[in-house]
Amino acid sequence: MKQFLCTCIIFLSLTMIAVGQNKKMVAKAEKKIEKINTQITSIDASLALSEAQKKEIIAIEIKKLKAIKVARKEMNDKDALKAKVKELNKAAGKEVSQNVLTKEQRKARSKARKQKKNKN
């Protein structure tokens, strides 16, 4: 009985940890969505992201964050890790741009990025 109870407690603890980590990933993905949406709506408010687009971006970002987490565990070389993270970020950005955003949204986001770059 004690062994069963200990097993249950360990299982629940691991489940809580996994859920907590997943919440962090979702929070980071939502922050990314907010950034993209702000860039787009700063040019044209009517081009705001739809709920379906937000869900797709969350899925892409979580997939990217999980891949980064795996890379951090497997790689010891900081330069190689940095290159891998850069590659994963670029791939996720490309996927969002090509597969999620509309042509008008891509143009608006690009214009907002250029405006921000010119300010700095």
Per-residue DSSP letter, 50: P
pLDDT tens for 8-21 read 566 555 455 544 55
- Collapsing DSSP states into helix, strand and coil, what is residue 69? helix
**Domain boundaries along the sequence of the chain:** 2-119
Looking from the CA of 119 toward its CB, the CA atoms found within 13 Å total 6
Return contacts of 81-89, CB within 8 angstroms, 24+ apart. Answer: 88/64, 89/64
pLDDT value for 52: 93
| Token reading at 61 | 């970002």
Which among 1-5, 9-13, 21-25, 98-102 has the top mean pLDDT?
A: 98-102
